[in-house]
Amino acid sequence: MDTWMRLMANDGSIVFGRVENGYLHEYEGLDQPVPTGAVLSLRALTPLAPCAPGKVVALWNNFHALALKLEKPVPEHPLFLIKPASSVIGSGDAIRRPAHYAGKIVFEGELGIVIGKRCRDASLEEAEASIFGYTIVNDVTAAGLLAENPHFPQWCRAKGFDTFCCLGPAIVSGFDWRSARVVTRLDGVERQNYPLDDMVFSPAQQVSLISQDLTLEPGDVIACGTSLGVGSIGEGATVEVTIEGIGALVNALGVPVRDRADAAQSANEREKPAVVW
Amino acid sequence: MDTWMRLMANDGSIVFGRVENGYLHEYEGLDQPVPTGAVLSLRALTPLAPCAPGKVVALWNNFHALALKLEKPVPEHPLFLIKPASSVIGSGDAIRRPAHYAGKIVFEGELGIVIGKRCRDASLEEAEASIFGYTIVNDVTAAGLLAENPHFPQWCRAKGFDTFCCLGPAIVSGFDWRSARVVTRLDGVERQNYPLDDMVFSPAQQVSLISQDLTLEPGDVIACGTSLGVGSIGEGATVEVTIEGIGALVNALGVPVRDRADAAQSANEREKPAVVW
């Protein structure tokens, strides 16, 4: 297992690399995992979303427990919408309420698949090989818009607002999702705690089937869908989504929650995610 | 009115610029409309989609005539889905049938708005100023997938396949959409002929309202929605979408329709679009 982060230096330049003992070993990029030789202290860097996806493919109804609760059959092909690149923020960044929307804003803690190689019509084996690693997603939704127009469910709009795709804090390659759980806490209170082995389509199946529809590019993310326990986020409330082995993705509605020191520390102490409020 | 194209040179490099009398006057880019000084013959260049959008925002139900036919009220905010960058092809490129889909593939001739400046929470005036120009869109849809799953309408999947967003052949800045019509011909037979002044949301209104949801970036495209007359494309059939003053966007299902000479010629003779079959 290796941990990868994307960070900003003081001069505004962006670096990507492998994190070890508080240092970033810089690499050319996701699609070119070649070390540049540079080693930088995390303390001098500001964490960003761990990749810059061209698109985020977000699944609906991909957990057996949720399908049962919704009384919907599990799908035969991944059901998805697209969240644009403009919706992506990193751990600690503020989720912003849309200017003209006063309704519920909902969290969904999810596993994120990060693509490492261009992928089209991939077999299961090719799909598995094209996965760079895994991250954590909070797939935020303006729930009141989904069914606002009875003639057209607004999945892309409700989930596509700027700041509505929280990603991070890191990508972990070689991560065994099968034994992991997604735990979501709202202001410290556990609201989701579900096993990833309850997924309808495994990560490799998702990549393979979605790549038959559209070409996946390095850095693209598939948000694997959520399970039971989603809920709304009050103004100023903090959502922490944790997957042991990856870390803790922390975002609050309306306010940033990190400072540079906290973030560097939390990256350093991933085994035991720091609670920052 | 200026006409802008994006083309590939023999060495694989991509150039963008203003087209005049068979020559391309190269510019830095959409967001930096500064001439480089280079002037290239179009005959040595292969036309591409005229911009490389990060995302394509595609509207549904944006024409009064179509709303009337569908017996739906016109919306109060643009209803949209997102087509990914991976779906974009240029004029002449082949529309490819998805490997595991045997159903209807439908054309929709549309006006496309090309964004020139980053745009967020834009007023109508700011929105108008952020429009670089207009292009033509064939918003292709695997119609049989839209309602395949009764619990989740698959707008993004049905319209997001590789090659399902035909853009081109050019962007025209200073174009007066108010007096223009969209004409779509299937194998030479007129199937759509509708006036753009029947739009529910004008281009500036679309840009302003959508920019309140998500940040629009230079090169992003808004497909303004279609009106009456959409229909399915048989194998090998050619769809030509024409907007007088912009040109003719020509794509066939399963086969490319242009060769380099035709395309350069048609760019040169935009006032009188060449029929290529």
Decide if pLDDT at B262 tops 70.
Answer: no
Residues of A with Cβ-Cβ distance to B149 under 8 angstroms: 75, 79
Residues of B with Cβ-Cβ distance to A152 under 8 angstroms: 60-61, 75, 79
Q: Does residue A60 fall inside a structural domain?
A: yes
Residues of chain A with pLDDT > 90, as a percent, come to: 91
If you count residue pairs, one on A and one on B, with CB atoms under 8 Å apart, how many are there? 107
Verify whether the Cβ–Cβ distance A214 to B54 is below 8 Å.
no
Find which of B214, B220, B222 to mutate to test the A interface (most A CBs within 10 Å of its CB): B214
Separation CA B191–CA B28 (nearest Å): 38
Q: Does residue B107 fall inside a structural domain?
A: yes
Q: Does residue B191 fall inside a structural domain?
A: yes
pLDDT on residue A259: 52
**If you write DSSP's letter for every residue of B175-239 in order, what string do you get?**
--GGG-EEEEEETTEEEEEEEGGGBSS-HHHHHHHHHTTS-B-TT-EEE----S--EE--TT-EE
Looking up residue A135, the CATH number of its domain turns out to be 3.90.850.10
pLDDT band at B44 (very low <50, low <70, confident <90, very high): confident
pLDDT digits (tens, 9 = 90+) for B143-196: 999 999 999 999 999 999 999 999 999 999 999 999 999 999 999 999 999 999
Separation CA A108–CA A233 (nearest Å): 10
pLDDT digits (tens, 9 = 90+) for B220-229: 999 999 999 9
pLDDT digits (tens, 9 = 90+) for A159-217: 999 999 999 999 999 999 999 999 999 999 999 999 999 999 999 999 999 999 999 99
Stated as kind and residue range, the H or E segment containing A42 is none
Decide if pLDDT at A271 tops 80.
Answer: no
Verify whether the Cβ–Cβ distance A99 to B75 is below 8 Å.
no
Verify whether the Cβ–Cβ distance A160 to B61 is below 8 Å.
no
Q: Does residue A25 fall inside a structural domain?
A: no
Beta bridge partners of A276: none
Number of structural domains found in chain B: 1
Separation CA A38–CA A136 (nearest Å): 27
Q: Does residue A277 fall inside a structural domain?
A: no
Q: Which residue range forms the structural domain that includes residue A225?
A: 49-256
Sheet holding B105-107, edge to edge: B141-142, B105-107, B231-232
Query: Does A123 contact B at CB distance below 8 Å?
Result: no
Verify whether the Cβ–Cβ distance A156 to B157 is below 8 Å.
no
Decide: B224 and B59 in contact? Cβ < 8 Å.
Answer: yes
Separation CA A5–CA A24 (nearest Å): 8
Residues of chain B with pLDDT > 90, as a percent, come to: 91
The three-state secondary structure class of A277 is coil
Cis peptide bond upstream of B169, omega within 30? yes
Strand B221-223 relative to strand B35-41, pairing: unpaired
Q: Does residue A77 fall inside a structural domain?
A: yes
The three-state secondary structure class of A183 is strand
* C-alpha distance from B104 to closest chain A C-alpha (Å): 15
Q: Does residue A264 fall inside a structural domain?
A: no
Decide: A252 and A91 in contact? Cβ < 8 Å.
Answer: no
pLDDT digits (tens, 9 = 90+) for A8-37: 998 999 999 999 999 999 999 998 889 999
* B84 closest CB neighbour out of A149, A157, A214: A214
Query: Does A103 contact B at CB distance below 8 Å?
Result: no
Q: Does residue B54 fall inside a structural domain?
A: yes
